[in-house]
Amino acid sequence: MKKLFSKRYTILLLSVIGLGVLTASCDDDAIPLRDPNTAVGPEFKYTWAQTADSLQLSTYNNYLGSNGTFVQNNAGNSSFNYWPNAHVLDVLVDGYIRTGNDSYKAKMKALVQGIKIKNGNTYNNVFNDDMLWLANSCVRAYKATNDQEYKDIADFLWERIKVSWSDVFGGGITWKQDTPKQKNAVSNGPAVILALRLYEIDNDPDDLVWAKKIYTWQKNNLVDPVSGVVWDNISEVNGAVVTNKEWVFTYNMGTWIGAGLRLYKATNDQVYLDDAVKAGRTVLTSPKLLSEGLLRDEGQGDGGLFKGILVRYLTELTEQPTINSTDTEKFAAFLKFNAQSFYKKGILRPAMLSGNNWKTAPSAGGSVDLTTQLSGVMLIEAAAKLDKDGFFN
């Protein structure tokens, strides 16, 4: 997966929401919309679950390609890309868990089998992070459906990924199988999460050992010890070892949060939870990650998916019962603000297409990448869960 740049933005106060009115014509918005800060008129109602249904349906109708897989955009580019399709599986799992609708199971099975076909009849991929996204999605699919095929895929991928650990830079998993001198946050944070998801199922102590050593390496090499900001990669450039501290992306923050949270649950070691909370607090304040209180626009292409990945793991942290109530409330308020902004300003209705800037809907007839669409689905699925679980009250 190629990496993208984004300009730095200036953060404004998060506490002022002041969302504008957006008139919609879709079924999920039957109640008239109004500014929730207005003192008169009917109370504004966010229909999170119904909107998640609409976004899921739009994604399926606008991006479904051949062999159950999904294409690059809604504007005629039918290219297959491995890693966004792995995240399609993740959002289908979200929909299935939320609704219990068996139609999701058929879509999930067609997709995971189609990925193998489109990838040359193998799940092996030169990009370790791409395999990690699919393996993590497959473990979630297995836990949701108890279908052994998903577990078998995850096990196969995990064995392939572990081969890319080396002593170069003192450890870590390479970004690609053929880049021994480049190691990225995106090929290590998700590896910790995968190891611990498998450990939860199999109780194999070797998986816990792997999770701890990968986590320790990443913390020592790619995480700012003061702020908890996650740096993108470490590599050898012209014989010198260079840590790229300029590239700070939302998805790397998300997987670091998810890794720390899972290690805490597996070991009951407070240090891991403290790391996750530190990173979560930084998300709420860093101008490298925010613009006007919203997760920043990281463009389309690969960057279009980054924010949704962060939302997935920040949601998990928000629902962790052992963090203090102040952090819970701040994380929930932040996610609510992003979700409300996107709901009212970032969705093109009635097409139900996602903007890469969550306060600006895409233009009618414009091109929306699958990656960008998926982040929007992840955000609204997270909002539906947080609302159902009482965190948006």
Domains of the chain: 27-388 (1.50.10.20)
Alpha-carbon distance 294 to 355, whole Å? 13
Q: Is the pLDDT at 346 greater than 60, yes or no?
A: yes
Please provide residue 165's backbone torsions phi and psi, each rounded to the nearest 5 degrees.
-75, 140
Q: Is the pLDDT at 52 greater than 90, yes or no?
A: yes
pLDDT band at 86 (very low <50, low <70, confident <90, very high): very high
CA 329 to each of CA 11, 315, 320: distance values in angstroms, whole numbers, following the listed order: 20, 12, 12
Residues 6 or more apart whose CB falls under 8 angstroms from that of 35 comprise: 18, 19, 20, 21, 44
Summarised one tens digit per residue, pLDDT across range 328-344 is 999 999 999 999 999 99
CA 184 to each of CA 3, 159, 190, 191, 219: distance values in angstroms, whole numbers, following the listed order: 11, 19, 11, 11, 12
pLDDT of residue 19: 34
pLDDT of residue 68: 98
pLDDT of residue 393: 83
Q: Is the pLDDT at 378 greater than 50, yes or no?
A: yes
Average pLDDT value for the chain: 91
pLDDT of residue 43: 73
Choice between 23 and 378, residue whose per-residue pLDDT is larger: 378
pLDDT band at 72 (very low <50, low <70, confident <90, very high): very high
The interaxial angle of helices 82-99 and 306-318, nearest 10 deg, is: 40
Q: Is the pLDDT at 240 greater than 90, yes or no?
A: yes
First to last CA, the chain: 38
Q: Is the pLDDT at 305 greater than 70, yes or no?
A: yes
pLDDT band at 14 (very low <50, low <70, confident <90, very high): very low
pLDDT of residue 40: 52
pLDDT band at 238 (very low <50, low <70, confident <90, very high): very high
Summarised one tens digit per residue, pLDDT across range 129-157 is 999 999 999 999 999 999 999 999 999 99
Alpha-carbon distance 217 to 70, whole Å? 35
Summarised one tens digit per residue, pLDDT across range 283-304 is 999 999 999 999 999 999 999 9
Residue with tokens 């993740």: 90
Choice between 39 and 55, residue whose per-residue pLDDT is larger: 55
pLDDT of residue 9: 33
Length of the chain: 393
Q: Is the pLDDT at 12 greater than 50, yes or no?
A: no
CA 243 to each of CA 5, 188, 310, 384: distance values in angstroms, whole numbers, following the listed order: 16, 15, 22, 38
Share of the chain above pLDDT 90, in %: 88
Q: Is the pLDDT at 222 greater than 70, yes or no?
A: yes
Least confident segment among 4-13, 48-57, 204-213, 217-226: 4-13
Question: To which H or E segment does residue 354 belong?
Answer: strand 353-354
pLDDT band at 41 (very low <50, low <70, confident <90, very high): low
pLDDT of residue 44: 82
